[in-house]
Amino acid sequence: MARICLFPGTFDPITLGHVDIIDRAIPLFDKIIVGIGLNTAKTPMFSAEQRLQWINEIYAKEPKVEGAIYEGLTIDFCKKNKAKFILRGIRYVSDFEYEKTIADANRTLDKSIETIFLTGEPKYTSVASTIVRDIIKNKGDASHFLPKLVYQSLKQ
């Protein structure tokens, strides 16, 4: 059975921190679905289609990684795609506390789907999409936090 993993998030925009987690997870799984979850409580800066395009372009040469857009419960999207693992990146202890609560809820909904936590590289701990969006909105230099492809597309 293939080890299929879902890495859910808003990826608004995808940052070097996200790419770090995905890249280090590639050897662990047969397939990683980078799932752009549509959250009605959030107003994204970039369209889901733009975010999907970035993911697909960044990983165009990596057959194990694909992007997708989904609505509803993450656990339901996992079932639909036969994903038995949910990947989450952890930067700080506070991230773990929040993510563990979600992992516990997901385990209650389906015990066969396991959440895997990877800690981010220390150089990316300050990289958060919220901060990056604020830098972009205020015309700052976000190049230190974004994949080159994303940064170049924002400059155009």
> Of residues 3, 42, 80, 123, which has the active-site annotation?
42
Please answer whether residues 59 and 66 qualify as being in contact, where contact means their C-beta atoms are separated by less than 8 angstroms. Answer: yes
Tokens of 41: 């409580």
> Of residues 51, 84, 88, 91, which has the active-site annotation?
91
Query: Is 91 a catalytic site residue?
Result: yes
Q: Report the SS3 class of residue 27.
A: helix
> Of residues 18, 51, 84, 88, which has the active-site annotation?
18
Please answer whether residues 84 and 113 qualify as being in contact, where contact means their C-beta atoms are separated by less than 8 angstroms. Answer: yes
Tokens of 28: 């662990």
Query: Is 129 a catalytic site residue?
Result: yes
Query: Is 144 a catalytic site residue?
Result: no
Query: Is 143 a catalytic site residue?
Result: no
Active site residues: 18, 42, 91, 129
